């Protein structure tokens, strides 16, 4: 929580005024029993009607001013809490954007969403309660004890004995429940991850009739979360009854001894009422304090989880180079190997090749051979475990992230479009692009008919692009990459949903960009036949590199892929 406190800057005034006005309200509350005691002992006992009215007026004024102070305190506390968490949420979101693929894979999307939503909301509630009650409740508890000494010193000793016992109970429960709340949040992360996977993959699950199995799995995780919440809830629930028992026993003893002393003429009836009111105030405030501690305990657990994300530094080595290199070699891999965190075997081993400016590199191989991993290394999304990768004569790690994004236009395997107009999606990589530039890229990507059918660039794409087909999404994603006019275009199996005629037209129009270097992953051997070089991957190893004709004679893996798609007779021809 300490590292998060820097986001409280700018709200110092609210952090002082909120508790201050709460203390003013508490001070008035501590004076009320004295006014009531005077009203009973002098006004009612002496039948002094004017005095009773004056005391009643004072009580009304105390209530009015107390309400005013409470509202002002709540305003400042809420302003500080909301502003504080707004800054944290913004900083957390910004920080998440800087994390590498490796770190987001490790942390998990569901966990990061929980940090941004549930955890920040809990921290906000905790800060609000902290500013309103942390000073007020102890002030009233100890203030009531001190005021009791002014009423009757002997009876006040009962307060001195009761308060430490209550404090032990409150803080004991807090220390036990804090680690349990961390476990509850971890269970919640698992449940949210399961829900997210099911919702995003609902069509797949229904296709395999896995609904019952997933419902059972979700139910089990839900039960585990419930059991953990019940366990910590039982401990937290002890606070109220235990404090009630202790304080009510103290009240019984107070009234019993007070009655004896009133009978003996050592204490007035008004004094007993005042002492009872002070004991009741202690009870109420300790219950508030207990609930506040439970909420602050949750907030502290959530704050530590947020801190853990903010303390996660980007593990990638990134430079600040803002200019593209001048080398003729567009992409060079020198003995590159890569292993994912936690994996036992490398995904790529000893990959070496060179692609000149303006050439086309085709990449083909079986499922899981490392094709997507390779192009992600080109884009700088991961750092190679071994070897060197250079883009236009410079180490890919020396480029700044924004520069690398301008040089390399990446079209990932999964087509992702955002809610908004087609125009907004096309401008994602080039905010200054005009409609003419956008339409030029759309025509090259064979997507002009999509725009025409949808009524123009202002057409609203639904969340997850559910109102577009797979082929339409792929073509618009390719167009989005082309709008930036990248020097290197990477297509990670980005035409798999296109028919052969559309794909052929796409390849033809891409060839009209002679200065552009292209890296194309495809499962279709026919798509790569006219590539300048084809890299064949098998289980993370390069087993072939050359033209299609060369590979037909020298690479068994490529020949098997080709024959499986076109037949052995055509392969021989």
Mean pLDDT (whole number) for 225-230: 86
Q: What is the pLDDT of residue 363?
A: 92
Same domain? 173 vs 220: yes
Domains identified in the chain, total number? 2
Here the CATH number for the domain that contains residue 393 is 3.40.50.300
Report CA 478 to chain centroid distance, whole Å: 29
Within a domain: 28: yes
Q: Residues near 42 by Cβ (< 8 Å), separated by ≥ 6?
A: 48, 51
Nearest-angstrom CA–CA distance, 266 and 275: 14
Mean pLDDT (whole number) for 11-24: 90
Q: What is the pLDDT of residue 553?
A: 87
Q: What is the pLDDT of residue 317?
A: 63
**Residue pLDDT, tens place only, 179-197:** 787 788 778 778 877 887 7
**Residue pLDDT, tens place only, 37-48:** 888 888 787 778
Model confidence band, residue 570 (pLDDT cutoffs 50, 70, 90): low
Here the CATH number for the domain that contains residue 84 is 1.20.1560.10
Mean pLDDT (whole number) for 374-403: 86
Within a domain: 469: no
Residue 544 and residue 557 in contact, taking contact as beta carbons nearer than 8 Å: yes
Model confidence band, residue 153 (pLDDT cutoffs 50, 70, 90): confident
Within a domain: 29: yes
Is the confidence at residue 384, as pLDDT, over 80?
Answer: yes
Alpha helices in 201-268 (DSSP H): 202-207, 211-237, 239-263
Q: Residues near 500 by Cβ (< 8 Å), separated by ≥ 6?
A: 526
**Residue pLDDT, tens place only, 83-120:** 999 999 999 998 888 887 777 777 777 778 888 888 89
Within a domain: 298: yes
Q: What is the pLDDT of residue 287?
A: 73
DSSP state string for 91-136: HHHHHHHHS-HHHHHHH-HHHHHHIIIIIHHHHHHHHHHHHHHTTH
Nearest-angstrom CA–CA distance, 489 and 283: 70
Same domain? 300 vs 336: no
Task: Give the end of a domain, one of 310, 338, 370.
Answer: 310
Nearest-angstrom CA–CA distance, 527 and 504: 8
Same domain? 27 vs 130: yes
Q: What is the pLDDT of residue 90?
A: 92
Q: What is the pLDDT of residue 355?
A: 92
Is the confidence at residue 300, as pLDDT, over 80?
Answer: yes
Within a domain: 448: no
Nearest-angstrom CA–CA distance, 355 and 358: 8
Same domain? 44 vs 181: yes
Nearest-angstrom CA–CA distance, 491 and 489: 7
Same domain? 46 vs 99: yes
**Residue pLDDT, tens place only, 527-537:** 888 888 999 99
Same domain? 303 vs 333: no
Mean pLDDT (whole number) for 410-425: 89
Q: What is the pLDDT of residue 318?
A: 66
Residue 148 and residue 159 in contact, taking contact as beta carbons nearer than 8 Å: yes
**Residue range(s) defining the domain that contains residue 567:** 329-415+483-572
Please state the pTM of the whole predicted model. 0.68
User: Who has greater pLDDT, 573 or 115?
Assistant: 115
420: left (phi over 0), alpha (psi -120 to 50) or beta: left
Q: What is the pLDDT of residue 351?
A: 92
Same domain? 241 vs 306: yes
Mean pLDDT (whole number) for 265-283: 82
Same domain? 301 vs 345: no
Phi, psi (deg, nearest 5) at residue 8: -85, -5
Phi, psi (deg, nearest 5) at residue 21: -65, -30
Same domain? 244 vs 347: no
E strand spans, 493-550: 517-521, 533-538, 541-546
Nearest-angstrom CA–CA distance, 403 and 321: 7
Within a domain: 445: no
Residue 451 and residue 435 in contact, taking contact as beta carbons nearer than 8 Å: no
Mean pLDDT (whole number) for 436-459: 90
Nearest-angstrom CA–CA distance, 339 and 383: 10
Q: What is the pLDDT of residue 89?
A: 92
Nearest-angstrom CA–CA distance, 268 and 259: 9
Same domain? 306 vs 333: no
Q: What is the pLDDT of residue 573?
A: 47
Nearest-angstrom CA–CA distance, 551 and 369: 17
Which of helix, strand or coil describes residue 217? helix
Same domain? 278 vs 350: no
Nearest-angstrom CA–CA distance, 157 and 148: 9
Buried b (16+ CB within 10 A) or exposed e, 445-462: bbbeebbeebeebebebe
Same domain? 201 vs 339: no
Q: What is the pLDDT of residue 568?
A: 55
Among the residue ranges 49-63, 105-119, 330-344, 372-386, the one predicted with the least confidence is 105-119
């Amino acid at each position: 929580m300490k590292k998060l406190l820097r986001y409280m800057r700018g709200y110092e005034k609210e952090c002082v005024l909120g508790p201050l006005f709460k203390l003013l309200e508490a001070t008035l509350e501590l004076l009320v029993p004295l006014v009531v005691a005077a009203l009973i002992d002098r006004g009612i006992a002496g039948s002094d009607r004017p005095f009773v009215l004056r005391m009643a007026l004072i009580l009304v004024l105390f209530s009015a001013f107390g309400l005013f102070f409470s509202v002002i305190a709540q305003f400042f506390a809420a302003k500080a809490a909301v502003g504080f968490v707004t800054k944290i949420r913004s900083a957390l979101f910004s920080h998440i954007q800087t994390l590498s693929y490796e770190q987001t894979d490790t942390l998990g999307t569901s966990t990061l969403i929980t940090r941004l939503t549930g955890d920040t909301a809990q921290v906000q509630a905790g800060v609000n309660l902290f500013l309103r009650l942390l000073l007020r409740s102890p002030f009233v508890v100890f203030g009531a004890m001190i005021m009791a000494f002014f009423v009757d010193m002997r009876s006040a000793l009962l307060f001195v004995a009761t308060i430490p016992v209550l404090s032990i109970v409150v803080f004991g429960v807090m220390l036990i429940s804090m680690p349990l709340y961390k476990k509850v949040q971890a269970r919640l992360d698992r449940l949210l991850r399961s829900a997210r996977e099911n919702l995003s993959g609902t069509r797949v699950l229904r296709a395999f009739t896995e609904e019952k199995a997933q419902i059972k799995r979700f139910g089990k995780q839900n039960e585990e979360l419930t059991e953990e919440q019940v366990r910590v809830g039982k401990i937290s629930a002890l606070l109220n009854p235990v404090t009630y028992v202790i304080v009510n026993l103290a009240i019984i003893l107070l009234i019993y001894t007070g009655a004896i002393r009133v009978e003996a003429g050592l204490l007035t009836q008004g004094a007993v009422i005042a002492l009872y009111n002070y004991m009741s105030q202690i009870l109420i405030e300790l219950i508030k304090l207990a609930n506040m501690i439970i909420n602050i305990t949750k907030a502290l657990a959530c704050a530590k989880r947020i801190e853990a994300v903010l303390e996660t530094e980007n593990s990638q080595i990134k430079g600040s180079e803002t200019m593209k290199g001048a080398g003729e070699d567009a992409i060079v891999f020198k003995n590159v190997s890569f292993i994912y965190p936690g994996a036992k075997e490398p995904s790529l081993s000893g990959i070496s090749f060179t692609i000149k400016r303006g050439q086309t590199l085709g990449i083909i191989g079986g499922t899981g051979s490392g094709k997507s991993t390779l192009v992600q290394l080109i884009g700088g999304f991961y750092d190679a475990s071994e070897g060197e990768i250079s883009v236009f004569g410079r180490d890919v790690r020396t480029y700044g992230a924004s520069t690398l994004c301008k040089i390399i236009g990446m079209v990932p395997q999964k087509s992702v479009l955002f809610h908004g107009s087609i125009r907004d999606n096309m401008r994602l990589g080039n905010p200054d692009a005009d409609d003419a530039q956008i339409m030029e890229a759309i025509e090259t990507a064979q997507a002009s008919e999509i725009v025409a059918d949808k009524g123009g660039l202002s057409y609203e794409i639904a969340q997850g692009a559910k109102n577009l087909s797979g082929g339409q999404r792929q073509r618009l994603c390719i167009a989005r990459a082309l709008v930036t006019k990248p020097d290197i275009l990477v297509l990670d199996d980005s035409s798999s949903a296109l028919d052969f005629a559309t794909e052929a037209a796409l390849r033809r129009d891409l060839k009209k960009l002679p200065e552009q270097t292209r890296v194309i992953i495809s499962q279709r051997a026919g798509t790569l036949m006219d590539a300048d070089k084809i890299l064949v991957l098998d289980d993370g190893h390069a087993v072939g590199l050359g033209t299609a004709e060369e590979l037909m004679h020298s690479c068994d893996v490529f020949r098997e892929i080709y024959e499986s798609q076109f037949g052995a007779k055509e392969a021989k021809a």
